Amino acid sequence: MEAMKISAKTHEESANSSHNGSSSSLKMENGMTHGIYAKMAKEKLNASHLAERINSTERLKKESTEHLSHLEDGPRRSTSEDAELFDTAILKDLEFAKTLNERGEISISPATSEDSLVLRALRRSDYHLEYMELLSQLTVVGAVTQDMFEKRFDSMRRAEGSYYTIVIEEKLPKRRIVGSATLVIEQKFIRATALRGRVEDVVVHRDRRGQDLGKLLMEVATVLSKSLGCYKVSLECKDRLVEFYSQFGYQVDPGNNYMMQRFHE
């Protein structure tokens, strides 16, 4: 397969956007654009079908240089700098259906430039793309050296099938990670040796808030958990976020309590 990059149809500016009017779209690492992503949801297609359609409509415009080459040689299992925590290709096989919002799509507000955002798996090299700085906008991060980051990354990667950290990379005006959510998979003996998902550490860069990137991350994490066969998926959240998460099908479980204790910060 020839590696390719697919240019995206730009979105109409949303009415309530306060942005500067330049347009962008979010594309998945495998070339699925966000506009297509939304359409796909409506038509209940998966990305494989979609790719065929795209091929037939002459949307093939750019060649991927750095980001799609891994689709040709399979998921990387090395600990090279650009190793992925999981194979981004699985994102393209997701079937989007009922968990999308009422309109059956997620709209991304205009941002700075076409093709400026990419959705993909976390990479070992993302330490250099301000990943920890992004996480520090969520909670206490502390001093995480590159070595610490890489050790943790490698360890999560070895626990194959357990950690799915999905990130949004901003290409312009600056390469950096501007969004992240992690789906953690827990293995069970109950329910016919089921899997169970948890969505953890959802964060969007303060410069990119109000553009529905959080929605996109939540959609992908949730649909991925279903796709992986989880019998349920859960999360913990502050009161003010209950409504936000409700739109993705999450409900407060009446009569069920979340209890915790901290040993240290």
Cα–Cα distance, 214 to 218 (Å, whole number): 6
Region from 1-9, 18-26, 44-52, 181-189 binding a second copy, contact rule CB under 8 A: 181-189
Tokens linked to 29: 């690492």
Binding mask 158-177 for a second copy (x = CB under 8 A): -xx-xx--------------
Strand partners, 5: 62
Select the residue interacting with a second copy from 4, 50, 100, 184 (CB under 8 A).
184
Residues from 15 through 34 that contact a second copy (CB under 8 A): none
Residue nearer to a second copy on the CB measure, 61 or 158? 158
Q: Which residues touch 139 (CB under 8 Å, ≥6 apart)?
A: 201
Tokens linked to 184: 């953690």
Number of residues lying near a second copy (CB under 8 A) = 66
Q: Which residues touch 205 (CB under 8 Å, ≥6 apart)?
A: 134, 137, 170, 176, 177, 178, 179
**Count of CB atoms situated within 10 Å of the CB of 92:** 19
Residue nearer to a second copy on the CB measure, 16 or 258? 258
Residue 143 interacting with a second copy (CB under 8 A): yes
Residue 186 interacting with a second copy (CB under 8 A): yes
Residue 3 interacting with a second copy (CB under 8 A): no
User: Do 174 and 245 meet the contact criterion of CB atoms below 8 Å apart?
Assistant: no
Residue 257 interacting with a second copy (CB under 8 A): yes
Least spacing, CB of residue 117 vs a second copy, in Å: 21
Tokens linked to 120: 């993909």
Select the residue interacting with a second copy from 201, 209, 210, 247 (CB under 8 A).
201
